[in-house]
Amino acid sequence: MNRKEAVKKATELVDQMTLEEMASQLRFDAPAIERLSVPEYNWWNECLHGMARNGTATVFPQAIGLGATFDQELMQEIGDCISTEVRAKYNESVKHGDRDIYKGLTVWSPNVNLFRDPRWGRGQETYGEDPVLISNMAVPFIKGLQGNGQHLKTAACAKHFAVHSGPEALRHHFDARASMKDLWETYLPAFEACVKDAKVESVMGAYNRTNGEPCCAHGYLMQEVLRTKWNFQGHFVSDCWAIQDFHQNHKITDTPEKSAQLALEKGCDLNCGCTYQKILDACQEGLVPKENVRRAAIRLFTTRYLLGMSEKTEYDDIPYEEVDSRAHQALASRAARESIVLLKNNGILPFDRQKIHTIGVIGPNADSRRALIGNYHGTAAGYVTVLDGIENIAGDDIRVLYAQGSDKSKDRVESLARANDRISEAQTVAEHSDAVVLCLGLDELLEGEEGDAGNAYASGDKLDLRLPKPQEILLEKVLATGTPTVVCMMSGSAMDLQLADEKAAAVLQLWYPGGRGGLDAARILFGLEQPSGKLPVTFYRDLEDMPEFTDYTMQGRTYRFLGRTPLYPFGYGLGYGKTQVLEAEVTEKVQTLQEGQDLRISAEIVNRGQMPAEEVLQVYVHVDNAKNEVRNPKLAAFARITLQPGEQKKAELMIPEKAFRVINEAGEAVREGTGAHIYVGLGQPDERTRQLYGNETKELTVSF
């Protein structure tokens, strides 16, 4: 069914409704209208990295880990897998008359906010700190979720629109101030890609205000940008109870009726919350015209018709057996392997079975299911922790010793014991091992969303980059034993890894790798798979010179604006192969790049190692002599490449013309400067990447 047909049907249906019936359909928990054969429907479902909060489902790595894959093809496969499971569950729920929350076809994912500050607890839900990376990961994910059939397979949702990335504690009354340049250079590109390129069916507003207006009733963002400039055709949904914030916290209205009036007037069609229960009162007071209610109802029923809720669809026969199936588990395993980033390796990895006969597995995240799943997660049919995975791969010829070492955040494991009551056991295990795998980090109780996290002192955010004190002590004591130690960090954000970088034999960033992700981590440790993830965020040394968390200007934040040396740069990640870019060139002879002209380049890449390699070829662009260009070269294109030992391969990438534009102070994408430098390599063209990776990027130039 095309949109024109769906709009026609929705209009015919809505025009049969009373005002009361129309208004009832603008709530996330829309009741049935029996006289019109409209069943009840709950719009709220979550599918950030797998179907969430609805029982068994395939649990993929958390979104930040998916960002680390730099794999667009994988993202579409994951989106398709998730929508298959959503449909399978929906089919069965409807058969049983169950239309509860989290069981519908409208999925409030992905989160395409930019991870601008490492303290943000919800940054784990994003694809990283770069608008090009976020856009190129979100678009195929949405296409996978929505499908390419006669009907929408599910309806995806780009959130949270816009300029939203903490602090969590302030989000209900905070005003994020952003210049037009920052807005269009940083905060809006991913949303634009979701609307224009992916045809996302819905957009969710943020809790905060942006430049004075609440994001769920924002004239500029919702009307001028979303509806007019981008020609968005779908529906707009508020974040949950965000409209209530208008009068309770933002204080821009003084009654719920006026909040409903403002939200509807600006184009918020669906209320996750309770404020739209006041629509009828607002109508009676003359605040809300019937046409605004009708318009919103038509948009919502257009989505329901596009999903085929009132007719037979091609997805009705998807069986329940698809849920967490072997094929889906295999896809999640691939995603976990591609997401893991090797940050340091002195040669200890992969483990040599001829040299290592006893492995000590230590740390509060070594045998933790919670450290596998991140937030907004489903329930896997089975879990494999890092300890489980190592024991599985080690087999009978390698002894595995285990010590918890510490609690994740408390100073003791046993309440009646003294502080640091598991340290001596950890030291003993390290001293009796040939190598140690030390699993540290956080989980959804220590970083996450305000209201969902146990991290009450920061409402889900981190106060700094440091590990909780018990884990800092554990790290110091284990490293002090002198046993070669592989630090495995399980977190959804950048942590302080300076001590590990200095003294550990190897460092791996595992993120939250999914329900069975511990097995995939073990396979990488033993060399059965390659580490191939790349950092989607900068790992800073500390927060020195970092702007205030509440400051939404971009200067000093993310690799594009960074003026100091990071510990580990965006785009960086080691492998076990020895790959190198041999040469790069512009494939067509371009003397002067014209406006509107994309640029195709090719690169020769070789693996000189003895093991297969998976690499991410990265292209960065910096416009010459342009006063509005960002400080550092910016990501413009990327591609995953697999190379066998000794294999040499040519790869081609297209740099879109917009990569050669800059954003001026008015927020306009303009041509400035005399030309551009293009850098082709396996990471950024910065000194720290060269120092860590040992590879030079190839440099090209083009004139304007």
Q: For 646-666, what is the mean pLDDT?
A: 97
Task: Kindly state whether residues 469 and 590 are assigned to the same domain.
Answer: no
Give the confidence band of 594 by pLDDT, cuts at 50, 70, 90.
Answer: confident
pLDDT score recorded for residue 577? 87
Q: How far apart are CA 147 and CA 489, in angstroms?
A: 35
Residue 338 amino acid letter: E
Residue 169 lies in a domain: yes
CATH assignment of the domain containing 676: 2.60.40.10
Residue 616 lies in a domain: yes
Q: How far apart are CA 674 and CA 668, in angstroms?
A: 18
Q: Please give the distance of CA 307 from its chain centroid, rounded to a whole number.
A: 25
pLDDT score recorded for residue 431? 98
Query: What is the helix (H) or strand (E) element at residue 40, kind and residue range?
Result: none
Q: For 428-441, what is the mean pLDDT?
A: 98
pLDDT greater than 80 at residue 453: no
CATH assignment of the domain containing 99: 3.20.20.300
pLDDT score recorded for residue 70? 98
Task: Kindly state whether residues 366 and 453 are assigned to the same domain.
Answer: yes
Q: For 455-476, what is the mean pLDDT?
A: 94
Q: For 426-443, what is the mean pLDDT?
A: 98
Nearest to 134 by CA among 154, 114, 152, 118: 114
pLDDT score recorded for residue 23? 98
Task: Kindly state whether residues 353 and 442 are assigned to the same domain.
Answer: yes
Beta strand 399-403 pairing with 358-362: parallel
pLDDT in tens, 242-256: 999 999 999 999 999
Q: For 68-88, what is the mean pLDDT?
A: 98
Residue with tokens 């102070």: 665
Q: Which of 285, 314, 343 is the last residue of a domain?
A: 314
Task: Kindly state whether residues 335 and 297 are assigned to the same domain.
Answer: no
Nearest to 221 by CA among 132, 158, 283: 158
Q: Which of 266, 294, 314 is the last residue of a domain?
A: 314
Q: How far apart are CA 490 and CA 438, in angstroms?
A: 10
| In the chain, % of residues over pLDDT 70 | 100
pLDDT greater than 90 at residue 596: no
Q: How far apart are CA 411 and CA 266, in angstroms?
A: 50
Residue 542 lies in a domain: no
pLDDT greater than 90 at residue 63: yes
Question: Domain range holding 410?
Answer: 323-537
Helix H segments across 225-307? 244-248, 256-266, 279-284, 290-306
Task: Kindly state whether residues 270 and 351 are assigned to the same domain.
Answer: no
Residue 292 lies in a domain: yes
Mean pLDDT of the chain: 97
Beta strand 506-509 pairing with 485-490: parallel
Give the confidence band of 360 by pLDDT, cuts at 50, 70, 90.
Answer: very high
pLDDT score recorded for residue 687? 95
Residue 686 amino acid letter: D
pLDDT in tens, 148-206: 999 999 999 999 999 999 999 999 999 999 999 999 999 999 999 999 999 999 999 99
Task: Kindly state whether residues 370 and 444 are assigned to the same domain.
Answer: yes
pLDDT score recorded for residue 591? 75
Task: Kindly state whether residues 333 and 469 are assigned to the same domain.
Answer: yes
pLDDT score recorded for residue 458? 87
Instruction: Output the CA–CA distances (angstroms, integers) from residue 431 to 360, 400, 415, 439, 461, in the order listed.
Output: 9, 13, 27, 17, 36
What are the two backbone dihedrals, phi and then psi, of residue 400, each rounded to the nearest 5 degrees?
A: -115, 120
pLDDT in tens, 290-319: 999 999 999 999 999 999 998 999 999 999
Q: Is 434 a catalytic residue?
A: no
- In this structure, the number of other CB atoms found within 10 A of the CB of residue 345 comes to 18
Instruction: Output the CA–CA distances (angstroms, integers) from residue 583 to 45, 615, 677, 698, in the order listed.
Output: 47, 16, 15, 6
| In the chain, % of residues over pLDDT 90 | 96
Nearest to 619 by CA among 598, 600, 635, 599: 635
Residue 560 lies in a domain: no
pLDDT score recorded for residue 282? 98
Q: How far apart are CA 6 and CA 234, in angstroms?
A: 11
Task: Kindly state whether residues 246 and 355 are assigned to the same domain.
Answer: no
Residue 562 lies in a domain: no
Contact 42, 103 (CB under 8 A): yes
Q: Which of 314, 335, 363 is the last residue of a domain?
A: 314
| Options 117, 239, 388, 461, the catalytic residue | 239
pLDDT score recorded for residue 451? 85
Q: How many domains does the chain have?
A: 3
Task: Kindly state whether residues 305 and 336 are assigned to the same domain.
Answer: no
pLDDT score recorded for residue 267? 98
Sheet bearing 648-655, strands edge to edge: 579-586, 599-607, 648-655
Structure tokens at 269: 């069609």
pLDDT score recorded for residue 589? 79
Beta strand 698-703 pairing with 675-681: antiparallel
pLDDT in tens, 621-639: 999 999 999 999 999 999 9
Task: Kindly state whether residues 330 and 285 are assigned to the same domain.
Answer: no
Question: Has this prediction a pTM greater than 0.95?
Answer: yes
pLDDT greater than 80 at residue 454: no
Give the confidence band of 222 by pLDDT, cuts at 50, 70, 90.
Answer: very high
pLDDT in tens, 665-692: 999 999 999 999 999 999 999 999 999 9
Residue 273 lies in a domain: yes
pLDDT score recorded for residue 455? 83
Q: For 607-617, what is the mean pLDDT?
A: 93
pLDDT score recorded for residue 461? 97
Q: How far apart are CA 375 and CA 122, in angstroms?
A: 9
Task: Kindly state whether residues 142 and 21 are assigned to the same domain.
Answer: yes
Task: Kindly state whether residues 308 and 347 are assigned to the same domain.
Answer: no
Instruction: Output the CA–CA distances (angstroms, integers) from residue 237 to 28, 221, 687, in the order listed.
Output: 9, 14, 44
Q: For 576-584, what is the mean pLDDT?
A: 94
Q: How far apart are CA 232 and CA 268, in angstroms?
A: 13
Contact 494, 538 (CB under 8 A): yes
- 321-333 burial: b if 16+ Cβ within 10 Å, else e: ebbbbeebbebbb
Residue 182 lies in a domain: yes
Give the chain's radius of gyration (CA, Å): 26
